[in-house]
Amino acid sequence: LDISWFTESMSLGKPLKVEPRHCLGDSSSSVSSDKATQETPSYACQRRTPLHHHNKEIVDALQILALSASFQGSEARYLGFTRAASVLKCLPFTLQSAEEVKDLQFCGGHSKTVIQEILEDRVCREVEMVKNSEHYQSMKVLTGIFGVGIRTADKWYRDGIRSLSDLNEIEGKLTGEQKAGLLHYTDLQQPVTRDEAERVEQLVKGALQSFVPDVQVTMTGGFRRGKQEGHDVDFLITHPNEEALNGLLRKAVAWLDSKGSILYHHIKGRSHNFARSSTMDGHETCYAIFALPNACPEKSPDAGTIQPDLDKSPPRNWKAVRVDLVVAPYSEYSYALLGWTGSKHFERELRRFSLQVKKMSLNSHGLFDIEKKCHYPATSEEEIFAHLGLLYLTPSERNA
């Protein structure tokens, strides 16, 4: 199978020979026509990755194995499966045979076995085993709690905790975040729809604008990449006048809280003394659980008639929704927007590319040239891609 047309489309219109440390946008890159299959760009930030693709079954399987590897603390295996899945998301056709991936980057070895099994048998035994394993199932439930990471969940697992009800035994040891996560577990397991995200946006904008009328609020994360559902709603807040941002997040959150819109919140202050060259993110951030009122409040049934079951609690007219609010100074806004749009794998690859290929450190505050020891200001995402010598990818092309 000649997949040069595919690799061309993946590599943003330019068939380029991938050298070690190759940078897609570089005009100096040499063109190779014979070894088209070596042309798959190494880094996900060099490929257009759409939201919808042609190999869902295989990608889902590889992502289950990636998740399972991360549950077992194997970063290398997590990355291996994630990279294979990410490359397949760019494939503009449905795979028919494992032969078709033989020269694709990251799709050899273990991943190829998985691809082959799914193509031949429709199922992969290893994936089925993982899905049925007690460790995977428990870790999925436990890491699904807001405030519980892999390390905590794994420690709990080793202490014999398997399910949410087992957590009653250690309730006193849970953090405030975890208690709130447990309390609203069922709601938070439900995906947030775009309609709900837009209603959260109205709430957030209303609160912020009551203090600063021309504050800029942008929905980021998966919704900005075109997803119709997400596990939370992410917002980025900025204003050309930095003074206007001082204390704004706390005031707006307190205002929402006073209206009963907040079930839980935790504000992480802005880190003033963090190294701008590090990959850490020091923006002021609020991690919250909102009580989002239902779109159409249900009318109380037959007001005035006697209710048969008076003990029944009234139907709830709200849903718990996870919300992240991030404040970025205007000068860092484009970097924060790029950093908070994701996907997670795309961001990871962008930072890896910056460091390995460009010797630059990228984070949500800026871009630092390690050799020249200077920062690159940017007023748009396009400028950041240009600083990195990459062709621009729209948010919907960053679903790596």
- Chosen from Mg ion, ligand DCT, none, partner binding at 102 (C-beta under 5 to 8 Å by type): none
* Residue numbers 347-376 binding ligand DCT by CB under 6 A: 347
103 marked ligand binding residue: no
Answer for which of 100, 154, 234, 381 binds ligand DCT (CB under 6 A) is 234
CB of 223 to ligand DCT, least distance (A): 7
Give the shortest CB-225-to-ligand DCT separation in angstroms. 7
Among 234, 281, 284, 381, which residue interacts with Mg ion (rule: CB under 5 A)?
234
Candidates 340, 353, 368, 385; binder of ligand DCT (CB under 6 A) is 340
Q: Is 324 a catalytic residue?
A: yes
Q: Is 232 in the site for Mg ion (CB under 5 A)?
A: yes
Binding to Mg ion by residue 366, rule CB under 5 A? no
* Residue 222 touching ligand DCT (CB under 6 A): yes
One residue of 55, 218, 261, 343 binding ligand DCT per CB under 6 A: 343
Closest residue to Mg ion, based on beta-carbon distance: 221
For ligand DCT, the binding residues in 132-171 under the rule CB under 6 A are none
Told to judge if 234 belongs to the known catalytic residues of this protein, a careful annotator would answer yes
Strand order in the sheet with 360-362: 360-362, 367-369, 374-375
State the Cα–Cα distance between residues 42 and 364, nearest whole angstrom: 23
> Which of 103, 232, 281, 311 does the annotation list as catalytic?
232
Q: Catalytic residue, from 103, 166, 324, 369: name it.
A: 324
Q: Count residues contacting ligand DCT (CB under 6 A)?
A: 12
User: Is the CB of 235 or the CB of 368 nearer to Mg ion?
Assistant: 235
The answer to whether 232 is annotated as binding is yes
Q: Which of 54, 112, 140, 231 binds ligand DCT (CB under 6 A)?
A: 231
Q: Is 332 in the site for ligand DCT (CB under 6 A)?
A: no
Closer to ligand DCT by CB, 6 or 146: give it. Answer: 146
Q: In angstroms, what is the minimal distance from the CB of 222 to Mg ion?
A: 5
Binding flag, residue 347, Mg ion (CB under 5 A) = no
Nearer to ligand DCT, 277 or 343 (CB): 343
- SS3 of the chain: the string is CCCHHHHHHHCCCCCCCCCCCCCCCCCCCCCCCCCHHHHCCCCHHHCCECCCCCCHHHHHHHHHHHHHHHHCCCHHHHHHHHHHHHHHHCCCCCCCCHHHHCCCCCCCHHHHHHHHHHHHHCCCHHHHHHHHCHHHHHHHHHHCCCCCCHHHHHHHHHCCCCCCHHHHHHHHHCCHHHHHHHHCHHHHHCCEEHHHHHHHHHHHHHHHHCCCCCCEEEECHHHHCCCCEECCEEEEEECCCHHHHCCHHHHHHHHHHHCCCEEEEEEECCCCCCCCCCCCCCCEEEEEEEEEECCCCCCCCCCCCCCCCCCCCCCCCEEEEEEEEEECCHHHHHHHHHHHHCCHHHHHHHHHHHHHCCCEEECCCCEEECCCCEECCCCCHHHHHHHCCCCCCCHHHECC
Q: Write down the catalytic residue from 159, 234, 302, 369.
A: 234
342 near ligand DCT, judged by CB under 6 A: yes
Please give the Cα distance from 298 to 315 (Å, whole number).
8
Q: 261, 291 in Cβ contact below 8 A?
A: yes
CB-based contact 346:49 (threshold 8 Å): yes
Which of 39, 100, 154, 232 binds ligand DCT (CB under 6 A)? It is 232
324 annotated to bind ligand: yes
Q: Which residues bind Mg ion (CB under 5 A)?
A: 221-222, 230, 232, 234
Using CB under 6 A, list all residues that contact ligand DCT: 221-222, 227, 230-232, 234, 340, 342-344, 347
Q: Binding site residues for Mg(2+), as ranges?
A: 232, 234, 324
Task: Kindly list the catalytic residues.
Answer: 232, 234, 324
Which residues are annotated as part of the binding site? 232, 234, 324
